[in-house]
Amino acid sequence: MSRMGDLHIDIVTDLSKLSQEFAEAIECGCNACESYTIDEIDKQFQLVGDTWAKANPLRLVKASI
């Protein structure tokens, strides 16, 4: 698995431990809960990504879409 995939799993695991609401939303899996969990994961992923980018500015690679 890629490092980004591992990071994603770590974020979900940490959020599940810290937030009962998040853990319940993961278990439910309805459209509203899925949307909520995706938003929360994206917020955390952005925070972690920004921190990593600031700590490792020379290792950034820009992705082309």
At 7-57, the pLDDT tens digits run 778 888 988 999 999 999 999 989 999 999 999 888 887 776 666 555 555
**pLDDT at site 63:** 45
> Under a CB-based contact definition with an 8 Å cutoff, are residues 36 and 25 in contact?
yes
**pLDDT at site 4:** 72
- Residue 23 tokens, joined: 């853990």
pLDDT range class, residue 6, cuts 50, 70, 90: confident
**What are the CA-CA distances from residue 64 to residues 25, 30, 35, 42, 48 (Å)?**
33, 33, 26, 20, 21
What pTM value is reported for the model? Answer: 0.66
Domain spans in the chain, listed from the N-terminal domain onward:
3-52
Any idea what the Cα angle at residue 33 is, between residues 30 and 35, rounded to 5°?
105
**pLDDT at site 31:** 94
The rounded radius of gyration (Å) of the Cα atoms in the chain is 14
- The span from the CA of 48 to the CA of 41, in Å, is 10
